Amino acid sequence: METLPLKRGIIKNIDSLVSHGESDIRRDALDIIEAGILGADPGRGTLAKVWREGERLFVDGKTYELNRIKNIYVLGAGKGSFPIAEALDSILGERIREGFVVVKKGEKRRLQHIEIFEAGHPIPDEGSVIGGRRLLEVAARAQAGDLVFAAITGGCSALVVAPPAGIQLTDIKELTDLLLSSGATIREINAVRKHLCNLKGGRLVAAIHPAETITLTLDTTPEGMPWPDMCLADPSTFQDAITVLKHYDIWDRVASSIRSYLEQGLQNPSMETVKTLEGINSRVIGVASPNSACEASARRAEEIGYTSVILSTTLHGESADLGIFFGGVAREILTRQRPFAPPCALISGGETTVKLSTCSGIGGRNQELVLGFAKEVGTREKVVCVSVDTDGTDGPTEIAGGIADGYTIARLQEAGIEVAEILKRHDSSTALRTLGDTIITGHTGTNVMDLRVLVVGK
């Protein structure tokens, strides 16, 4: 069984981040966060589940005789798909008949036996359409007796699109922009996108049939994080998609082609997404998850002297409000040593949302969260909050997230920045850049939503 070496130094600007404020606690908090990101490395997770001994291939408890497999294909899409593909490339090598994986623009690494193709995220682009078409073409070539690995992770819904006839890429781009700024949850957003794509909602795995599909993903719980939705049965309906658009008051703002197609699907059951995988030879294997990230963070916190508590791996809600909640918890710990006594590290995962106003600045949900925390915690000492998107990009920025402590509000005031106004304008990047408190990682190679840690020192 192969292994990958652990890589430290994910946070590129750590020296700057610990040069002010609660330096020691900041360093500890960032160390805990980095351990969590490493704990969700899908490449290492893949090598733990898939390995080869000669002509035998072992995949999560099942053994394959390679000389009995006609062709092996590797398909993929997502911000965490490259490390999975890299691991498969190292294991299978020239046994791969054809490989095609779509990644986010900026991923310049390439593989020997699998083609890596870049496309747009979070808004799809022409590359997304090309990528979607190529995935369907390779899927159609797979036949009975073939084995297809599908590396499908978060971000795939933007990175590959296959719009039905009559719907243009511009329509999908406008829809995506409206959904992302509406405050809708990722599950609601995907309910819409799955019904406007010939890949999503289980359609990829249906196209691969009768070949066997092994989906490697970052989570195997569809109701929690429906990332591999190209390879899963879809419980949502055309009616759900319409309900989401109407609930967030964007039904009348999307292209008429989209409204027409969704209404047509409502009347035509044959247009629905795949509702069952019965009769399709397919299985889904998790190689990393929010839980693995949180547990790795918790272990690191204990190693450096903190009592660690995983609050939840599925926290969601409005970003600033959740930050205010963490600020209130920090105050209670500092004042009354409850519900946990310091020194402690409270860890959580999940994905928050930001409902944008008509006049919005530049920021991301994790940056907004730490500013909400700073606003609530005030000028108290010995407390730090860090929040990052594990893929390295928070919202539409190239910033992974932000960090705040009991000095943040005073420093903002010295800079002439009013935190309430910043939160109102959703301009968190401007404020945190001014303070030198934006976290920079670049592409991390994983994507298990957000990771947060609240550290309270002695």
SS (H, E, C) the chain: CCCCCCCCCCCCCHHHHCCCCCHHHHHHHHHHHHHHHHHCCHHHHHHHHEEEECCEEEECCEEEEHHHCCCEEEEEECCCHHHHHHHHHHHHHHHEEEEEEEEECCCCCCCCCCEEEEECCCCCCHHHHHHHHHHHHHHHHCCCCCEEEEEECCCHHHHCCCCCCCCCHHHHHHHHHHHHCCCCCHHHHHHHHHHHCCCCCCHHHHHHCCCEEEEEECCCCCCCCCCCHHHCCCCCCHHHHHHHHHHCCCHHHCCHHHHHHHHHHHHCHHHCCCCCCCCCCEEEEECCCHHHHHHHHHHHHHHCCCEEEEEEEEECCEHHHHHHHHHHHHHHHHHHCCCCCCCEEEEEEECCECCCCCCCCCCCHHHHHHHHHHHHHCCCCCEEEEEEECCCCCCCCCCCEEEEECCHHHHHHHCCCCHHHHHHHCCHHHHHHHHCCEECCCCCCCCCCEEEEEEECC
How confident is the model at residue 6, as a pLDDT?
42
pLDDT over 50 at 335, yes or no: yes
Of the pLDDT bands very low, low, confident and very high (cuts 50, 70, 90), residue 224 is very low
- Contact residues for 428 (Cβ-Cβ < 8 A; gap 6+): 361, 362, 363, 364, 367, 368, 370, 371, 402, 422
Position with higher pLDDT, 358 vs 254 = 254
**pLDDT over 90 at 221, yes or no:** no
Q: Is the pLDDT of residue 5 over 60?
A: no
Burial class (CB in 10 A: 0-12, 13-18, 19+), 335: exposed
The span from the CA of 274 to the CA of 201, in Å, is 6
Render pLDDT for 87-118 as a digit per residue (tens, 0 to 9): 999 999 999 999 999 999 988 899 999 999 99
**What pLDDT sits at residue 154?**
84
Residue with tokens 């978060």: 154
pLDDT at 351: 87
pLDDT at 229: 84
- Predicted confidence (pLDDT) at residue 4 exceeds the cutoff of 50: no
Q: Are 169 and 129 in contact (CB under 8 A)?
A: yes
Average pLDDT over residues 294-322: 96
Percent over 70 (pLDDT), the chain: 96
Q: Determine contact, residues 352/322, Cβ cutoff 8 Å.
A: yes
Looking at residue 107, its pLDDT comes to 87
* Averaged pLDDT of the chain: 93
Tens of pLDDT, residue by residue over 179-196, are: 988 988 888 999 999 999
What's the rounded Cα separation, in Å, for the pair 248 and 246? 5
Between these two residues, 133 and 228, which has the higher pLDDT value? 133
- Structural tokens at position 64: 């394959």
Q: What pLDDT is stored for residue 218 in this prediction?
A: 87
Mean pLDDT of 327-350: 96
- pTM for this model (two decimals): 0.82
Categorize the per-residue pLDDT at 214 as very low, low, confident or very high, splitting at 50, 70 and 90: very high
pLDDT at 106: 86
pLDDT at 25: 97
- Within its chain, how far is the Cα of 185 from the centroid? 13
> What domains are there in the chain, each with its CATH number?
14-40+290-456 (3.40.1480.10), 42-162+197-236+273-286 (3.40.50.10180)
Q: 115, exposed or middle or buried, with CB in 10 Å at 0-12, 13-18, 19+?
A: middle
pLDDT tens for residues 23-52?
Answer: 999 999 999 999 999 999 999 999 999 999
Query: Tell me: the pLDDT tens digits for 128-143?
Result: 999 999 999 999 999 9
Query: What's the pLDDT at 358?
Result: 66
Whether residue 411 is predicted with pLDDT greater than 90 in this model: the reply is yes
pLDDT at 340: 97
| Band of residue 225 on the pLDDT scale cut at 50, 70, 90 | very low
